[in-house]
Structure 1
């Protein structure tokens, strides 16, 4: 089905990290108050940084070879996850590159975007268990590339083993999912070394409850009644160096390394109409919270158009999540290519006496969830 187009208005490194002792995890709990069962509609959006217009098509095809290969167990599973999303469109009218070489006609195919994938990011969605929906986003730490290590291998292995743990234990707490996933990547002979941030969330439709474990600078936000209701906070060693799960070789010097038990734990009550957004820092470094809210309003206005009156209530919920994921990735990518937009990353750099104009080029992964009621 087609939707009326959305009109939008513009508004980690591994290097020099260190091993450090950290305090125990924080917990932010909110008791639930929803008595009727909820339902969750999930949208998936992703894009690697090594894709047009930031690099040539040839370089994008070469970058797509990173990570587990398609004929491997994890590679086959990865293709299943990629098929859940990747319908991203670009905001052509605001990207200078599209005016200069009109790359969009050649490179905007869905098959290309799925093949190019999410770069060093990884994610999973598991809606197959009876009571809970599990989601997670991981960001492989790109600094490992300087040591000749493919950062995608660690994040993809971590994600795969987290996913399989939810199949084996469909009532697991997010921190337990994180612990199982980390144990899996440590035992995975296909991953020699690497590190990754992680944010894993479970959504309990019977209890109306979100539970989460977040380690590093990925995260999640809950939007309610047109405003940010709750947002997780980042864990960082210092600027641009997040806390991270790591697999080190011979006690690799100057490497940050944390335990899953050090993740911040969250529990939040959910209400019908809530929108939950999980993201890697490729999104949160480039898009302010108020812009996230504004983009959701654009999506809601699109769905409220008479041209989309044919959607029934459930279709509308599905499209709200799907379209928002698409728009958030497109907007984040637009900002990455500009120096005239003040981003969260620019502001944080300034606080650390560094000059960084505009957006930060990075992989971006977004999972969106519309909360409905059965």
Structure 2
């Protein structure tokens, strides 16, 4: 049975324009994290590299088996599709590189999002997050270069009206933060402990062997993804990330990092009326003078420069840096250690869980027609 959709909406002012300021940060397992290079700044006007010219392994971001994409949704640069895919490491036992599946999957979803005509599919109806996941998965299944593999996935669509739709399959996930609070978050989908729902390409030989000798291959479908729909507000922070983050940081840890960073920048300020968002976030979200020369989401030819620092990039690198530190800390138990103790109370597991980590961060800006020109650039 397909997972049920959750919905929370209200009507914004007609003059409102939503702008999505997006950055991603990532680091592969076993690599040292450098916030000055392990970061990606999204520009909606950049071309997406066609899947037929898919980048080689050497030009992938240093995210290991994790992959991500951010792209325009149709012809409107104000609408965005984004997602994270986590290659299933168990395929390495069969001689398969899980990164091939996850990175190709994201490439295909990015291309399908851009190709959507006015955010509509073949039926003329708006493209959904599940449909985009299905398009990417179907393309991977028909890619002769992908012989086998699997991945979890979280896919989000952001509309010009401030609507968010997220389809989550597996143990990647999202969190939506609003004014020093956790407004919404996803729950992981698992078949058993440390066995998430996953999309797979399984060779016929493996299916025959399983039929003859027993056992089963996990082959979940995009229709199994849980869908959540939410209305966004000015100053919201949305994070989509792989389980490398959620296994090492609790939701309150992520909230603490985001609140500290937003307050330090001045984007969230404590007043007599409680926490308030700065009326104009453009001074914090605009990149510096150096241009980002990315040719497609997630494939940087010239890495991040310090003078292109934005608030969204600071949020992304602060979160991933904290998750990386927690993953190698053997004294402080994180969410994964808590799960181990729940299912295996006699297991002596302590500390974090080393893994690839990838997070895509969206800082929502709600701009009305009456908003004046941007104020002088804030120092972050």
- Equivalent of residue 72 in structure 2, options 106, 127, 136: 127
- Which one has a larger percent helix, Structure 1 or Structure 2? 1
Counterpart in 1 of 2:109?
162
Distance verdict in 2 for CA 1:72–1:118, change over 3 Å = farther
CA distance in 1, matches of 2:56, 2:366: 34
**Cα contact 2:163–2:229 (8 A) shared by 1:** yes
Structure 1 Cα separation of the partners of residues 94 and 173 of structure 2: 27
* Corresponding residue pairs, total: 293
Match of 2:92 among 145, 168, 192: 145
Of the structure 1 ranges 280-289 and 168-177, higher mean CA displacement relative to structure 2 is found in: 168-177
Distance in 2, matches of 1:52 and 1:370, equals 26
Q: Which runs of 5+ in 2 are unaligned?
A: 34-50, 120-126, 211-215, 268-279, 287-309, 368-380
In 2, distance between residues paired with 1:302 and 1:184?
44
User: Quick check: 2:72–2:114 contact (8 Å CA) kept in 1?
Assistant: no
The equivalences for 1:174-323 within 5 A come to 174-205=129-160, 207-250=161-204, 251=207, 253=210, 254-304=216-266, 313-318=281-286, 319-323=310-314
* 1:225-278 deviations in Å (ceiling 9; x for gaps): 101000011100101010000000122633211011111011001000100000
Could you say what the CA RMSD is over the residues aligned between the two structures, in angstroms?
Answer: 2.1
Q: Distance in 2 between matches of 1:282 and 1:356?
A: 17
The Cα of 1:320 is off from its aligned counterpart by 2.1
- Calculate the TM-score normalised by the size of structure 2: 0.73
TM-score by length of structure 1 reads: 0.74
Question: What SS class does the counterpart of residue 200 from structure 2 fall into?
Answer: strand
Q: Which has the higher strand share?
A: 2
